[in-house]
Amino acid sequence: MSNRPSFLASLRSGGIRPEDDAETRLQKSLLVFATGLVCTGSMLWLFLYGQMGPGFSVTAPFVFQMLLVGNLLYFFQSGNFNLFRYLQLALFLFAPFAVQWSIGNFITASGTSLWGLLAPIGAILFFGARESIAWFVAYIALTAMSGFFDYFLADVIASTPAKVPIKTSVFFFALNFAAISSIVYLLVRYSVIEKAKLQANLEETHHLLQQEQERSERLLLNILPGPVAERLKHDCQTIADGFGDVTVMFVDIVNFTKVAEGMTPQQVFAMLNRIFSSFDELAEQFGMEKIKTIGDAYMVAGGLNNEQSNYTRSIAELAMAMRDLLQRDYAVNDMHLDVRIGIGTGPVVAGVVGKKKFIYDLWGDTVNLASRITSEGVPGMIQVDATTYKRLAADFAFHEPQTIYLKGKGNTVVYRLIGNQGNDPAAAPITLDELTG
């Protein structure tokens, strides 16, 4: 079944179809507008010519007008814009010369051939600058030919009694100049106004595209670190990097499963969202890279993007800020939840996993160590491995080292972070028994 619009639909839309691009829409509306102007001017010309009474047949200009209207209606019916513009411009070009020759010469016809100038001007608007050259050359050739015959037949014309009074001839000279000038002005003005509208629409579309691009950028940066996001946009290859030194931290909510048993799914989500959103803000504040959330656990790392030299210290300060937030801000932690925190430092492998719903993740012994230190930790405490301890010992206070058994690692020495060195008079190392009472 044909998808071509009906005649009435084409008539209402001026022949413009939904699939037309902006330039084609402009060309169609301009040519329909030009046809309307020429038909209006032609009717006025016929009326005034008839009122002033020269003894010439109005058949030629009337036929010209009927051809314009017939071609327009055929375009509405067929939708063939290419044929329509060629035929319409051909009528604009040749019909005025035919009318002038039927009346007499350039003077007696009051320069009716000036109407042919609409063809090359229309060609600029409906075809383009390059294609208009041929139409302009044709107009000049027809004008030159008319002038040539008028020149060599001047004596014959002069000896023939004038059929058109001089007043009528002068009046129609003025009318033709005014009509052509008005039509050209209105066409150019209409074109400029419509192009301004198109430009405004393009700018609005561009603005909306920029907003969508920025939104996509923000979404991508919420999933991936900035440098990785840039690489993913410009490189289709697998992204996997080895880092010789990264500090990894896990934050695990204590007894989460038991707490969540008596809550609705909405309440569980709201609780986690408040806590993890606060952690996101702290991670951004300290310049660390959030990696992911795993159920009720939160993973963050430093040293992936060379964001700062002392990222291990920043991770420790972030850990204390997270712990302290939950202990003092019960608007965020209304269930009075506690956390275990584990920190490990060493080499990792980082990369983007998958092609759909991909994530940026870390792998390696350092990640496993940090995760297991967390799961074997004491609620409310921050446990670090030996490498992390060595970097922090000069600036932070720690409890005495503890040896714990980790699956797959055996006995492992860990250190429990108290706080910044010197901030608390009681920050000297104490035993675990003293801490737990």
pLDDT digits (tens, 9 = 90+) for 303-317: 887 655 789 999 999
Predicted local confidence at residue 220, as pLDDT: 66
The lowest-confidence range among 163-167, 175-179, 181-185, 329-333 is 163-167
Residues 338, 420 within the same domain: yes
Residues 24, 142 within the same domain: yes
Residue 330 has pLDDT above 50, yes or no: yes
State the average pLDDT for the chain: 82
The lowest-confidence range among 103-117, 274-288, 366-380, 418-432 is 418-432
The lowest-confidence range among 36-40, 119-123, 166-170, 402-406 is 166-170
Q: Are 225 and 304 in contact (CB under 8 A)?
A: yes
Q: State the pTM of this model.
A: 0.54
Q: Are 378 and 343 in contact (CB under 8 A)?
A: no
Predicted local confidence at residue 205, as pLDDT: 86
Residue 433 has pLDDT above 90, yes or no: no
**Mean pLDDT of all residues in 427-435:** 39
Predicted local confidence at residue 54, as pLDDT: 56
Residue 161 has pLDDT above 70, yes or no: no
Report residue 316 as tokens: 């420790």
Predicted local confidence at residue 237, as pLDDT: 59
Q: How many domains would you assign to the chain?
A: 2
Residue 11 has pLDDT above 80, yes or no: no
Residues 143, 181 within the same domain: yes
Question: End of a domain among 211, 246, 262?
Answer: 211
Residues 313, 249 within the same domain: yes
Question: End of a domain among 211, 229, 259?
Answer: 211
311 Cβ contact partners less than 8 Å away, ≥ 6 residues apart = 247, 287, 288, 302, 303
CA-based nearest residue to 118, from 143, 135, 99: 135
Predicted local confidence at residue 256, as pLDDT: 87
- Cα 407–chain centre separation: 52
The burial of 271, by beta-carbon neighbours within 10 Å (0-12 exposed, 13-18 middle, 19 or more buried), is given as: buried
Question: End of a domain among 194, 211, 228?
Answer: 211
Residues 195, 339 within the same domain: no
Q: Provide the residue range defining the domain that includes 64.
A: 7-211
Residues 159, 255 within the same domain: no
Residues 152, 289 within the same domain: no
Domain of 363, CATH number, reads 3.30.70.1230
Confidence tier at 384 by pLDDT (50, 70, 90): very high
User: What is the rounded CA–CA span in Å between residue 385 and residue 369?
Assistant: 8
For 341, list phi and psi in degrees, rounded to 5. -130, 130
Residues 166, 89 within the same domain: yes
Residues 282, 326 within the same domain: yes
CA-based nearest residue to 10, from 23, 29, 26, 27: 29
What SS3 state is found at 42?
helix
Residues 299, 398 within the same domain: yes
Residue 216 lies in a domain: no
The lowest-confidence range among 72-76, 99-103, 121-125, 152-156 is 152-156
Residues 289, 145 within the same domain: no
* Of 112 and 90, more confident: 90
Residue 223 has pLDDT above 70, yes or no: no
Residue 27 has pLDDT above 70, yes or no: yes
Confidence tier at 277 by pLDDT (50, 70, 90): very high
Cα diameter, the chain: 134
Residue 305 C-beta-side C-alpha neighbours within 13 Å: 16
Residue 195 lies in a domain: yes
Report residue 340 as tokens: 């275990």
Residue 184 lies in a domain: yes
Residue 90 lies in a domain: yes
Residues 316, 424 within the same domain: yes
